[in-house]
Structure 1
Amino acid sequence: MKNTVILTVIICSLFAAVSCQKDELDLDNPNALTTDQFWVTPDDAELGVNSIYAMFYKDGLWARWIYFRLDLTSDEGFSQSPWVELADWTRFGYINYNFWEGNAVTWRDTYKAVFRANQVLANVPDIEFSDENRKAQILGEAKFFRALYYYYAGVLWENIPLVLEPSTPSDLPEQHTREEVFAQVEKDLNEAFSALPLTWDESQTGRPTKGAAKAMLAKLYMQQHRWEDAKAALEYLVKGEGAMYSLVEDYRDNFTHLNENNSESVFEIQFGDQRRGGTGEGQDASVSNTRAQFFAPRGIGWSDGQARYWLVDAFKEEQTVNGEIDERLRYSLFYPDLFEDFGDKVYGKDWEWGDEEAWFRKYQRDYYRENEDYFSEVNQRLIRYADILLRYAEVLNELGMTADAYQYVDMVRARANMAPLAEAYPGIGNNREAFLDRLKIERVLELSGESVRWEDLKRWGDLEDQSAVDEIAERDPDFGNFDIGKNIRLPIPQVEVENNPNLEQNPGY
């Protein structure tokens, strides 16, 4: 169960405190274990790999700020936060490259996660295990997570240091291109796939599987337009040994705490509300997600992130086979006509809405409470099977197999009670561009607010052409600030550039 994985990170803060770094005076603490003293037993290895999981609960990553980078910077979301600098970082107003909440903390926590993975990979091979299979799994987990964090770093910053050994304060790592970073991600994921199991015992739910490794490989290959490689990775999940996933009957089950780790989940981050401390390394550190607090409507949470109203219109462009509104809208967004359309009140309350106002409903907890806080227990479904099916359709279309791609879109549409794609849009036929244009909408209807849109826009090349950016700006005015060739990637925190002569700031900054 998810609580098992969450509870394993409780003592990781103690481990991290004695292993991450010494202070600038390089003094030894007689009460703390040294690295040589720690990495001795299989239990030490378990603690080491669990410390990587603990990074999910840090501010810069999946506990808080990464959603501002992946959801709000895309055309699906935006910010009207009274904290102007925070809002500016969702509309390409990058002035202070060291802005903590917008950039530096995500960079820091990314490399903390990489450091913890590197510690495992450097030290665990020398530990004697009676169970060599478990040793291999631990190394596979570490490689999976190093790959995951480098993948998102490659999506966000592109040209970054590639650190593959435990770092020290005096290191000045070399900068690498996105292509070089992605090559390492590919290597790590392939090695992780070989070591990870197809499934885990229920007590270990939340650890990555072979399916999760293949799904990440598919994402990686697609970002590089390596369509044949992506096809092979996805077929493992759709037709091959890893074809054990299925769409849950109730779409809403993907976004609440009531049916987590279900048949649709390929990899999800386990969150809980049993510890209500901060997000540091203390023993009471939270294992919760704060997204709900920051993305809640006015008066419920901080309301720093909201959805673009064009999403509501997109859902209403096509009715179900019964002539009704696509019910995915009901569980994706809060908007003025939610009560009229579905009978749902926002957190059980009457609401005064602004003109064309919308908020993300996914991962909010209005289904059982009337406010939000910093301690959401709802798991983040990082990869789910509906995404896999739509990706497979996209890959087949890119390979000229458009006729074969329809069935996988239809599987996703059928759950929402939508007509088959060819019936609803017969004009598409086998036209590759027309199919991709429709698939872009299908991904929005199914996956809006799930932190995939930014990588989608990059993969499709929509951020590299001024006419495409102008079209995006019609539905998201923030893209009027988008600078081609510059804003497709974040600036590297300036303090990193100034302190490391081997780093150059990203182009245009």
Structure 2
Amino acid sequence: MKKIVLYTTLLSALLFFNSCNDEDLELTNPNALTTDQFWATPSDAEQGVNSIYAMFYKDGLWSRWMYFRMDLTSDEGFSKSPWIELADWTRFNYVNYNFWEGNGVTWRDTYKAIFRCNQVLANVPEIEFTDPARKESILAEAKFLRALHYFYAAELWENIPLVLDPSTPGDLPPQKTKQEIFTQVETDLNEAFQALPLTWAGEDIGRPTKGAVKGFLAKLYMQQRKWSEAKAAMDYLISGEGAMYSLVSNYKDNFTDLNENNPESVFEIQFGGQRLGGTDEAANAAVSNTRAQFFAPRSIGWSDGQARNWMVGLFKEEPNINGGIDERLRHTLFYADIEADFGDLIYGRHWEWDADEAWFRKGQRDYYRNNEDYYSQVNYRMIRYADILLMYAEALNELGQTTEAYQYVDLVRARAKMAPLATAHPEIGSSHDQFLARLKKERVLELCGESVRWLDLKRWGDLETQAGVDAIAERDPDFNGFVVGKTIRMPIPQTEVQNNPNLQQNPGY
């Protein structure tokens, strides 16, 4: 049975802060507990840390808009939404820096999540526990989650405030560089590792483990091109104490609600469809994922997000060992010939697709229903073991150990019934550049639509030169609007810059 990390709604005064005027500061709620009154018992601490997980269910983060940033802005996806401003924010046409759905709400919810982390880290140490180990693990969870949110914020905006204490409305936090943010992320993750368990059981499944920490450390180091450090983090998962992960036999099991928290999952967000409220702080607030509604094909959902058709061609470049099509295509994309290729009726119906159309299938619920809504219960696998194996191969290649890297790519290919890499592509040999070029394709074939591609493009340096961007634009014309040195990061919401003299707008904006 699926285990959902639910939360208890905290007092609004404890949940978030925002810019406000003097009159706002004078308003009080006579029925509300003060901070000192709330943070008194272990139960309060549990509610506090659970409220951080609740932020995953907010519009600005992993319920909705983060997928627009991580998938549609990359060369894997795009938007033909009739909501022009929304579509513009997936093609680097940033006019209104305060556009809520494209920028403002993600900034707000990111710092709201960080505020909740800081509340736990500031107040829980003063609470007496009969179980000191649980106290330490609560603090470790808060550090892990703060690191997670800062990691993605640094990749989106890069130059942002670093807030490590509970904020007050009058605070004007100074701006830090991306590297300074990453340094704090590393500190938080290393400290969290010490107190987190190898596994959780029962209703605690979904909280971060030691393996999840190492997985995020690997991502952090990879983005900084610290190959040795990244390899060391992944050694823990592949051959060290945390080597308890494996690829599930059925690739599809990573994208439905039927086999969640399986051995391939290093960290996943727990979603549920049992509460049909909004995304506010009400008692019936949803704990669901709305990606399926926004990325569903025409007449099924809003169809605001589509996949680029070039990926269909990539899947068909190389046959599997049986001479057929790479089976991962079937579970990754909806496309014009899917019924002819695999016999699949999408959402129980025949489709007439335009020849150049494709849609993301991962996370969609066509395996048991004929429509989508705002309440998908399908968990989002933020880090899969397959991702770890491919990153490990990349790190080995960068460390001059190309021939040793093959075996980790082959593990991923074998599940898809693809021939060993050396057999299928003998031209690679021990060439670093050719191995990396092939690995870039392997990551699309395995991880397409899983919100990793934007990070990959940044890590590989493909967005740092005009030649690199031009090459991407050949398969994704939205990149004709990409400006080197500018749109590799989003603009900071202009209201934040105006309200905080310690913030400067990002370069080029």
Report TM bin, short chain. Answer: over 0.9
Maintained 8 Å contact 1:236/1:243 = yes
Tell me the amino acid that sits aligned with residue 402 of structure 1.
Answer: T
* Shift, 1:27, TM fit: 2.9
* Partner residue in 1 for 2:315: 315
Match of 1:140 in 2: 140
**Distance 1:19-1:159 versus aligned 2 partners, 3 A rule:** closer
Q: Which residue of 1 aligns with 2:485?
A: 485
- 1:390-412: per-residue Cα shift (whole Å, max 9, x none)? 00000000000001000000000
Change in Cα spacing, 1:33 to 1:295, as seen in structure 2 (3 Å) is: same
Corresponding residue of 1:210: 210
**Letter of the structure 2 residue corresponding to residue 405 of structure 1:** A
Q: Counterpart of 2:393?
A: 393
In 1, the alpha carbon distance for the partners of 2:390 and 2:401 equals 14
Corresponding residue of 1:20: 16
Amino acid at match of 1:433: D
Question: Superposition pairs for residues 333-352 of structure 1, below 5 Å?
Answer: 333-352=333-352
Structure 1 residues 94-243: aligned runs within 5 Å: 94-243=94-243
Q: Note the C-alpha offset of 1:229.
A: 0.4
Give the conservation status (yes or no) of the 8 Å contact 2:3–2:204: no
Contact 2:159 2:175 (8 Å CA) reproduced: yes
Q: Paired residue for 2:425?
A: 425
**1:209-247 per-position Cα deviation (integer Å, ceiling 9, x unaligned):** 000000000000010011110010000000000000000
Please tell me whether the aligned partners of residues 473 and 479 of structure 2 are also in contact (alpha carbons under 8 angstroms): yes
- State the secondary structure of the residue aligned to 1:3: coil
CA contact (8 A) 1:60 1:108 kept: yes
For residue 15 of structure 1, report the CA deviation from its aligned partner. 3.7
Farther-moved stretch of structure 1 (26-35 vs 88-97): 26-35
Q: What is the aligned partner in structure 2 of residue 475 from structure 1? A: 475
| Paired residue type of 2:367 | Y
Aligned partner of 2:85 in structure 1 is 85
SS class of match (1:300): coil
Partner of 2:246: 246
Distance in 2 of aligned mates of 1:20 and 1:402: 48
Q: CA deviation at 1:130?
A: 1.1
What is the match of residue 56 of structure 2? 56
Cα distance in structure 2, aligned partners of 1:423 and 1:365: 36
Displacement, 1:26? 2.5
Aligned length: 505
CA distance in 2, matches of 1:484, 1:21: 34
Q: 1:268 to 1:495 in 2, by over 3 A?
A: same
2-structure distance, mates of 1:390, 1:202: 30
> Deviation of residue 465 (structure 1)?
1.1
CA contact (8 A) 1:16 1:51 kept: no
Check the 8 A contact 2:4/2:270 in 1, yes or no: no
Q: CA deviation at 1:202?
A: 2.5
Is 1:160–1:177's contact at 8 Å kept on the other side of the alignment?
yes
1:439 corresponds to: 439
Report the Cα offset of residue 150 of structure 1. 0.2
Residues 248-267 of structure 1: matches in 2 within 5 Å? 248-267=248-267
Q: 1:20 to 1:478 in 2, by over 3 A?
A: closer
- Tell me, yes or no, if the aligned pair for 2:15 and 2:112 is still in contact at 8 Å: no
Which whole-Å deviations, capped at 9, do the CAs of 1:428-451 have from their partners, x for residues lacking one? 011001000000000000000000
CA distance in 1, matches of 2:15, 2:296: 37
The one-letter amino acid of 2:364's match is Q
Structure 1 vs Structure 2 CA RMSD: 1.0
Identity of aligned residues (%): 72
2:267–2:384 Cα contact (<8 Å) kept: yes
Q: 1:363 — aligned with what? A: 363
Give the alignment's TM-score, normalised by structure 1.
Answer: 0.98
Is the alpha carbon distance of 1:501 and 1:2 closer, same or farther for their aligned partners in structure 2, counting shifts above 3 Å? farther
Describe the shift of the 1:21–1:393 C-alpha distance in structure 2 as closer, same or farther (beyond 3 A).
closer
Partner amino acid, structure 1, of 2:60:
G
What does 1:252-331 correspond to in 2, within 5 Å? 252-331=252-331
Shift of residue 297, structure 1, vs aligned partner: 0.3
Structure 2 unpaired stretches of 5+ = none
Distance in structure 2 (CA, Å) of the matches to 1:488 and 1:191: 30
Q: CA offset at residue 16 of structure 1?
A: 4.4
Instruction: Give the Å deviation of 1:29.
Output: 1.7
Q: Note the C-alpha offset of 1:291.
A: 0.1
For 1:396, give the aligned amino acid. Answer: L
Aligned-partner Cα distance in 2 for 1:494–1:317: 45
Alpha-carbon contact 1:19-1:34 (below 8 Å) kept: no
Q: Write out per-residue CA displacement over residues 472-501 of structure 1, whole angstroms, 9 at most, x where no aligned residue.
A: 000000001110000100000000001100
Q: State how far apart, in whole Å, the 2-side matches of 1:25 and 1:159 are.
A: 28
SS at structure 2 position matched to 1:268 = strand
Taking the aligned partners of 1:263 and 1:284, their CA distance within structure 2 comes to 31
SS in 1 for 2:277: coil
CA distance in structure 2 between the partners assigned to 1:83 and 1:427 by the alignment: 46
- Deviation larger for 471-480 or 19-28: 19-28
Query: Distance between the aligned counterparts of 1:277 and 1:223, measured in 2?
Result: 37
Q: How much has 1:203 moved relative to structure 2? A: 2.5
In 2, the alpha carbon distance for the partners of 1:18 and 1:459 equals: 37
Task: Check conservation: 1:218, 1:231, Cα contact below 8 A.
Answer: yes
The equivalent of 2:70 in structure 1 is 70
The CA deviation at 1:21 is 4.8
* Rounded Cα–Cα distance in structure 2 between residues aligned with 1:493 and 1:419: 48
- Distance in 2, matches of 1:328 and 1:131, equals 46
Amino acid at match of 1:290: T
Q: Which runs of 5+ in 1 are unaligned?
A: none
Measure how far apart 1:353 and its partner are: 1.2
